[in-house]
A and B are shown apart, each in its own frame.
Chain A
C-alpha cells in the first residue's frame, strides 16, 4: 500500500508541470486534440477501455495503479465466487430444513393442533407483528390475492394461539387498498378453522386513515354486537405500511410545531414518554415479537419508533408464509429474556 501511494504522488506531482509547459508552447487558438500524437491517442483509448467503473481509479491513474486494481479486483471476484458457492450450499441446507419442518409441523387447519403446540411454551407475546411481502403475480401465492390469503392464514394462527393483537406491515400498503376482500378472506379462513357456527370476531384497523372495520362486512348480522362500544373483538388486526413510519413522525412534528407557534405547548414539555404516547395513538403499541417472512433481515422502513425492544425473527432463505416459521418464532420468543439495560 505505501509504495503505491508514493508512486501516485510523484505522478501527480510531475504531471501538472509538463502540461503547463505544453500550454505555454502552444498557441491558444489551436484545439488541444491536434497536439495528440497517434501513440498518445491509442494510449488514451486503451486507458478508457481498461479503466474500471470505480471511484478509486480515474482515467488519470497510472498503469501501476490500474494493474494493481485489476489484480485485487480479480481476487475480490474470486472471493465473491466462493461466497456464491457457499451461499448455494447453505441455501440448500436451509431449504431442506424448512421442508422437514413443514412436514413435522402442520396445523392441518385445526385450532386445537395449534393451541397444543403453543401450550408447551412458557410465555407468548401479547402483541405480534408480521412483515409480509407482495410477490410478483407469476410466483406461487403471488399478487394481491396471495398477499390477502397469506394475511388471513396468519390471522387464523394468531387467533388459535390466543394472541389478541396482530399488526401486518406491507411496504406499499396494498392491504389497505383492498379492505373488503381482506375482511371476507379473514372471515372465510376463520370459518375454515373454527367452523361456520363459531367464527371468532375480529376488527381491522387502519391507523393512517383512522378507520376501523368490524367483521366480514357492514351488512353482517354480527354488526349489532359491535355497536356496543364496550365489546372487544377476539382479534384486533392493524394494517401498517411505510407511511406509518417516518412520515407519521414528521406529521406529528408538524402538528407540534403548529401548536408551539400558537404557544399551546412548549418544546420543553416534549419528552420521550409524550412522543411515545402520541405514536401509540397514531400507529399502535410496540409489538413484542416481529416475524419477517423473508430470506434475510431487512426492516423495509418498518415504523422506527416501534422496534425498540421487540424480538425479531426470520428464517434464513425462507420466502414463504408458513406455519413452522410462525411456530419457531414463538418458540424462540418463549426462551428469550429481555433485560432492559440491566
Chain B
C-alpha cells in the first residue's frame, strides 16, 4: 500500500473497519488455530532504508503488533513468534544488548493497560532456555507472564533464547528424568507423549508457519510441530517490517481456501484403486 494513502484523515478508522469486516467473513470458514512466525528481514530493512539496525527492529515490532491484531480478530487461538534464537548470541554484543533492551521495553508495553493483551485477552508465554538470559530480562518476562496469566481468549508464545533442537532435547531429558523417578515405564513412551511435553504441548497443533524475507529455511524453529502434513508453510518475499495487514489477510484466506477445497494429495489414491480391484 502506498505511503501517501495512510496520511488521509480517517484512514486508520477505515482500515480498522475493513479488518473487522474481513474477520467476520473469514470466521465463517476454517481458521488456523495456531500460527508460527519467523520474523526475518529487520536488519535488511534497516540497510535498505538506511536507518539504524535498532530502528529496523523497532519497525519489526510494530509490524508484529499489526499482524497479531488481525490474527486474533480472525479467531486464531495461538501464535508463536521467534524472537531470539540461541544462535543469535553469536551476533555482536551491541546488537544482543539492544535486543534485550528492546524485549524488556516491549514486554512492558504489551502488558500495559488497554494495550494489545487486554484488548484481545492474550496470555503471554515465553518458551526457551531462560538460564542463558540476563537476570533482569528473565524478571521482565516472568512479570509479563504473571500479569497476563488470567487471560484466556488467545495465547502468544514468545520464543526467547529458543531453538527447536534444544526444545526436543529438553523434552526428552524431562521424560527420561520421569522414567528414572519411576513415573513412566520406558515402554509407554509414545510420539504423543513427546508432542504433549514440548513447550507448545498444551496448545492446538501448528496449522500455518509463515517466514518472511524469502529465505527458504526453517532455521531451527518448531521443527517437530511444522514437519507434518497438516501444517502449511508459507514463505513470503516481503521483509518483516513491510509485512502488512493486507498480506496477512490474503494468507489467512489462502489457507482457508486450501482447507475447504483441499489440495491435491497423491497419497491414498493407490489404496482406493486396490480396493476397487478387490471389489470387482
Interface of B is mostly: helix
A299→B176 contact, CB < 8 A: no
Contact with B along A298-332 (1 / 0, CB 8 A): 11111111011111110000000000000000001
B105 contacts partner chain A, Cβ-Cβ < 8 Å: no
**Mask for A129-171, Cβ within 8 A of B = 1, else 0?**
0000111110000010000000000000000000000000001
Residue of chain B at shortest CB distance from A276: B165
Residue B267 at the chain A interface, CB threshold 8 Å: yes
**Chain A hits for B261, CB < 8 A:** 80, 84
| A310 to B, closest residue via Cβ | B217
Contacts of A332 in B (CB 8 A): 216
A137 to B271, CA, bound (A): 11
Q: Which of A116-124, A180-188, A254-262 forms contacts with chain B?
A: A254-262
Which chain A residue lies CB-closest to B86?
A341
**Which of chain A's residues has its CB closest to B260's CB?**
A80
- The contact of A258 among B29, B186, B232, by CB within 8 Å, is B186
Residues of the A chain whose Cβ atoms lie less than 8 Å from the Cβ of B91: 341-342
8 Å CB contacts to A: which residues of B168-190?
168-169, 172-173, 175-177, 179-180, 184, 186-187, 189-190
B100 to A: closest C-beta gap in Å: 15
Of listed A172, A253, A298, residue having the most chain B CB within 10 A: A253
A275 in contact with B169 given A254-B186, A296-B263 (CB within 8 Å) = yes
Contacts A1-B20, A341-B89; is A309 near B227 (CB within 8 Å)? no
Q: Which of A84, A258, A271, A340 contacts B169 (CB 8 A)?
A: A271
Expressed in whole angstroms, the Cα–Cα distance for A267 and B270 within the complex equals 44
Chain B, 222-266, CB within 8 A of any chain A CB? 223-224, 226-229, 231-235, 253-254, 256-257, 260-261, 263-264, 266
Contact B194 A336 (CB under 8 A): no
Q: Is B215 an interface residue (CB 8 A)?
A: yes
Cβ of B186: which chain A residues have Cβ within 8 Å of it? 254, 257-258, 261
The answer on a CB contact under 8 Å between B87 and A250 is no
Complex contact A245–B227 (CB within 8 A): yes
> A136 CA to B273 CA in the complex, in Å?
9
CA distance A296 to B29 in the complex (A): 22
Min CB gap A143→B, angstroms: 8
A224: interface (CB < 8 Å):
no
Contacts of A212 in B (CB 8 A): none
Asked if B25 contacts A250 (CB within 8 A), the reply is: no
Least CB separation from A314: chain B residue: B216
Give the residue name and chain of the B residue nearest to A298 (CB): B229
Q: Would you call B229 and A301 a contact (CB within 8 A)?
A: yes
Given A275-B168, A299-B233; A307-B24 close (CB under 8 Å): no
Q: Let me know if B216 and A305 touch, CB within 8 A.
A: no
Query: Is B26 at the interface (CB under 8 A from chain A)?
Result: yes
B263 near A267 with CB under 8 A, answer no
B27 beta carbon closer than 8 Å to chain A? yes
Query: B223 to A307, Cβ gap below 8 A?
Result: yes
A residues apposed to B, CB below 8 Å: 1, 52, 54, 56, 68-69, 72-73, 75-76, 79-80, 83-84, 133-137, 143, 171-172, 245-247, 249-250, 253-254, 256-258, 260-261, 267-268, 270-272, 275-276, 295-305, 307-313, 332, 336, 338, 340-342
What are 26 A-B contacts with C-beta separation under 8 Å?
A: A72-B24, A73-B29, A80-B261, A136-B266, A136-B269, A249-B168, A249-B172, A250-B194, A253-B176, A254-B189, A260-B180, A270-B173, A271-B169, A275-B168, A298-B263, A299-B229, A304-B164, A307-B223, A308-B165, A308-B220, A310-B217, A312-B218, A336-B215, A340-B90, A341-B90, A341-B91
Residues of B within 8 A of A (CB): 20, 23-29, 85-91, 163-166, 168-169, 172-173, 175-177, 179-180, 184, 186-187, 189-191, 194, 215-220, 223-224, 226-229, 231-235, 253-254, 256-257, 260-261, 263-264, 266-267, 269-270, 273
